[in-house]
Amino acid sequence: GGRNDKNKENENSITATPTLNIVSTEFSIDEKYTIIYKPKNITVSIQSIQSNVKYQYYCAPRLDKDVFLTAQMIDWEQYNLLEGQANVFFEGTFIGSTLLDTRYLTDTLEISLGRDKSVKVERNKSHDFSEKTIFGGDKIAYREWDIAVRNGKQQSIDIIVEDQFPISGDSKIDVKPEEKSGGKLDEKTG
* Chain center to CA of 145: 25
Within 8 A by CB and 6+ apart from 161, the residues are 58, 59, 60, 61, 121, 147, 149
3-class DSSP assignment, residue 77:
helix
| Predicted TM-score (pTM) of this structure | 0.67
pLDDT at residue 121 in the model: 95
On the question of pLDDT at 18 being above 80, the answer is no
Nearest to 67 by CA among 5, 128, 117: 117
Q: Strand, helix or coil at 37? A: coil
The single-letter DSSP state of residue 162 is: -
When pLDDT is averaged across residues 130-147 and rounded to a whole number, the result is: 74
The helix (run of H) or strand (run of E) holding residue 126 is strand 119-132
**Confidence grade of residue 134 (pLDDT, cut at 50, 70, 90):** low
Question: Which amino acid would we find at residue 5?
Answer: D
Q: Which of 69-83, 84-98, 111-125, 138-152 has the highest mean predicted lDDT (pLDDT)?
A: 111-125
CA 53 to each of CA 10, 81, 160: distance values in angstroms, whole numbers, following the listed order: 26, 15, 17
What pLDDT, in 10s, does the model give residues 32-77? 777 777 777 777 777 777 888 899 999 999 999 999 999 898 888 7
Strand partners, 167: none
Residue 179 has pLDDT above 60, yes or no: yes
- The CA radius of gyration of the chain, in Å to the nearest whole number, is 25
Per the CB < 8 A criterion, the answer to whether 89 and 98 are in contact is: no
